[in-house]
Amino acid sequence: MAHKISDECISCGACAGSCPVDAISEGDGKYVVNADTCIDCGACEGECPTGAITAD
Ligand code: SF4
């Protein structure tokens, strides 16, 4: 299980710095969570201004 970033993402980058394991990076048109690295802590969820991050 890993958190996911939907198409609501506006690529602001607010979430990336909140991840303790650096699982979030800029992808093609939106930010993406590396499912292999994510530990499902949920720290990023509250950082997103558009609510694009959800638990898988
Ligand atoms: Fe990183 Fe935690 Fe968000 Fe997973 S849930 S991407 S580990 S901040």
Question: Tens of pLDDT along 1-55?
Answer: 899 999 999 999 999 999 999 999 999 999 999 999 999 999 999 999 999 999 9
Rounded to an integer, what distance in angstroms lies between the CA atom of residue 25 and that of residue 17?
A: 10
Q: Please indicate whether residue 31, judged by its CB atom, sits closer than 6 Å to ligand 1.
A: no
Tell me which residue of 3, 9, 7 sits closest to 36, measured CA to CA.
3
Taking the centre of ligand 1 as the mean of its atom positions, its distance from the CA of residue 28, in whole angstroms, is 19
The string of pLDDT tens digits covering residues 16-27 is 999 999 999 999
Helix ranges restricted to H, the chain:
none
Q: Please indicate whether residue 52, judged by its CB atom, sits closer than 6 Å to ligand 1.
A: no
Taking the centre of ligand 1 as the mean of its atom positions, its distance from the CA of residue 34, in whole angstroms, is 9
Predicted TM-score (pTM) of this structure: 0.91
CB 29 within 8 A of CB 51: no
